[in-house]
Chain A
Amino acid sequence: KQEVTQIPAALSVPEGENLVLNCSFTDSAIYNLQWFRQDPGKGLTSLLLIQSSQREQTSGRLNASLDKSSGRSTLYIAASQPGDSATYLCAVAGGYQKVTFGIGTKLQVIP
């Protein structure tokens, strides 16, 4: 059974700082890994999708990496802004189209 862990559970940083969110998973036989953003009381916004054959994906100030063999992914946010404050979820797609979510990292960027 796939288990997805996100560390830290919460993070508070001053505006402008670069930061890294971590995601680890127990079963390396994955199809893809996706990072989402969830604002309080709102739905999911897809940020980056990394296929199992890829090592990283970039979108603007966001960069996600994937190391399938070690069961790890990181989401790097450059020059953080208060608008980046949200909960970031990692989701791993494995066999039989089963997607397993982490519990998320709650990020607060302080102006």
Chain B
Amino acid sequence: GAVVSQHPSWVICKSGTSVKIECRSLDFQATTMFWYRQFPKQSLMLMATSNEGSKATYEQGVEKDKFLINHASLTLSTLTVTSAHPEDSSFYICSASPREAYEQYFGPGTRLTVT
């Protein structure tokens, strides 16, 4: 139980384009989802927290207009990297927390390369 999937697992896009990453909780309802990113040789850092049906809360230093997060249902959250640049190339991972529970279950991650 408590499986979280991400799609795609890797993506290459051209500079200036936008790319969408999906995060799904497969066997539970996730009232809260989290998005993290990992730059080379650095730890995973929280980007934003989203609750179903409300706006995401972004961590300091994360541009909300660049990283659009939508949590429209209890099983799906999306992260859209708008006008991607090479410096946005990173490993993005989501996690999901079930209703009335504390644990976060992590997805496998998406590796984004912007050329």
Say yes or no: is A83 at the interface (Cβ < 8 Å to chain B). no
Say yes or no: is B46 at the interface (Cβ < 8 Å to chain A). yes
CB within 8 Å of A: which B41-56 residues: 41-46, 49
Q: Provide the bound-state CA to CA distance between A44 and B111, in Å.
A: 12
Say yes or no: is A77 at the interface (Cβ < 8 Å to chain B). no
In the complex, the answer to whether B43 meets A93 with C-beta atoms within 8 Å is no
User: What distance in Å separates the Cβ of A86 from its nearest Cβ neighbour in chain B?
Assistant: 14
In the complex, the answer to whether B43 meets A102 with C-beta atoms within 8 Å is yes
Residues of A in contact (CB 8 Å), total 21
In the complex, the answer to whether B44 meets A101 with C-beta atoms within 8 Å is yes
User: What distance in Å separates the Cβ of A111 from its nearest Cβ neighbour in chain B?
Assistant: 26
In the complex, the answer to whether B111 meets A103 with C-beta atoms within 8 Å is no
In the complex, the answer to whether B109 meets A97 with C-beta atoms within 8 Å is no
Chain A, Cβ-Cβ closest to B91: A43
CB within 8 Å of B: which A80-101 residues: 89, 91, 93, 97-101
Residues of B in contact (CB 8 Å), total 24
Chain B residues whose CB sits within 8 angstroms of the CB of A104 once the complex forms: 43
In the complex, the answer to whether A44 meets B109 with C-beta atoms within 8 Å is yes
Interface residues of B (CB under 8 A from A): 6, 9, 32, 34, 36, 41-46, 49, 91, 93, 95, 97, 102-104, 106-109, 111
A-B complex: 4 closest residue pairs judged by Cβ atoms = A43-B108, A43-B109, A101-B44, A101-B43
Can you report 14 residue pairs joining A to B where beta carbons are below 8 Å apart? A31-B102, A32-B103, A36-B106, A42-B108, A43-B107, A43-B109, A44-B108, A46-B106, A89-B44, A93-B103, A99-B95, A101-B44, A101-B45, A104-B43
Interface residues of A (CB under 8 A from B): 4, 31-32, 36, 41-44, 46, 49, 89, 91, 93, 97-104
